[in-house]
Amino acid sequence: MRGGAESIGCFPTGRHYPGIAHLLRIVVAGLAEEFAGDTHLDEMSFVAIDTETTGRDPEVDRAVEIACVIFRRGEVVSRRSWLVNPGRPIPKESSDVHGIDDEAVREAPPFAAIAAELIETLAEGIPLAYNAEYDRKVLSAELARAGITPAALPPALRRNVEWIDPLIWARELQRAEKSRALSEVAQRLGIPLEHAHRATDDAEATLHVFSAFRRDPRVPRTYGALVQEQRRLSRLFDEERKVWRRA
């Protein structure tokens, strides 16, 4: 049954009724239709996505590099990356972070020229990104500017599909640590990240961080339960952040 979580529902009395328990599964929001909610994570395909941009505002700044790393049944099976000409100068403060300057993208294609390949690659699995909301907004903004609306949307481009975000899990599983930056989380887990802030390296490190977190008993083993718990943790963090801001 698609959208099922691991737990089984019951009537208000708390009593389970024989013969209908399989009909009482909790419906989980945010699942891609390609996988049933009770699919074990080992049986799934993921697309780790990372973008490097001209600045910090995904609604205004432009992509200069995009990478997708495909992870299937426990191993990386392919890597795709694109340098993108943003059509504007890259500020020095941004180049200082990712190392991509105007000269590096001078002969690169604009986003519209690589969009078809990117969309095809995104269809390879469930989207996964570190601080996923940022990369999701970058891609959405670029597609909107290019006026591109795919006939068949891959999971990453559907509004109702939850991206898997290891940052949310880092906040929970490494709660005692001051920094949850990808490079520092990876270092604590013994995961190499040689070229931080380059899209392919960051995307692949994100996959390995996610794989390491999956070994923690607090992380659910099935797709529906993982998304359900991630959404719960995200809501809790948002509530905590509101308290911090008021304080």
The pLDDT, as a whole number, for residue 8 is 33
Token pair recorded at residue 229:
């718990």
Token pair recorded at residue 137:
């907004």
**Is 10 inside any structural domain?**
no
Q: In whole angstroms, what separates CA 199 from the centre of its chain?
A: 13
**Is 15 inside any structural domain?**
no
**Is 34 inside any structural domain?**
no
Token pair recorded at residue 189:
């887990």
* Short-list 203, 247, 245, 228, CA closest to 27: 228
Give the residue ranges of DSSP H helices in the chain. 92-98, 102-105, 111-122, 132-146, 166-173, 182-188, 199-213, 223-246
Bridge-based pairing of strands 126-128 and 45-53 is: parallel
The pLDDT, as a whole number, for residue 240 is 86
**Is 179 inside any structural domain?**
yes
Instruction: Give me the CATH number covering residue 161.
Output: 3.30.420.10
**Is 48 inside any structural domain?**
yes
The pLDDT, as a whole number, for residue 25 is 53
The pTM of this model reads 0.87
Given a contact cutoff of 8 angstroms between Cβ atoms, the answer to whether 59 and 71 are in contact is no
**Is 67 inside any structural domain?**
yes
The pLDDT, as a whole number, for residue 26 is 57
**Is 83 inside any structural domain?**
yes
Range of the domain at 192: 41-246
Averages of pLDDT over each 10 residues, the chain, 247 residues: 40 40 63 97 97 96 98 94 98 98 98 98 98 98 94 95 98 96 97 96 98 97 97 94 78
**Is 234 inside any structural domain?**
yes
Number of domains the chain contains: 1
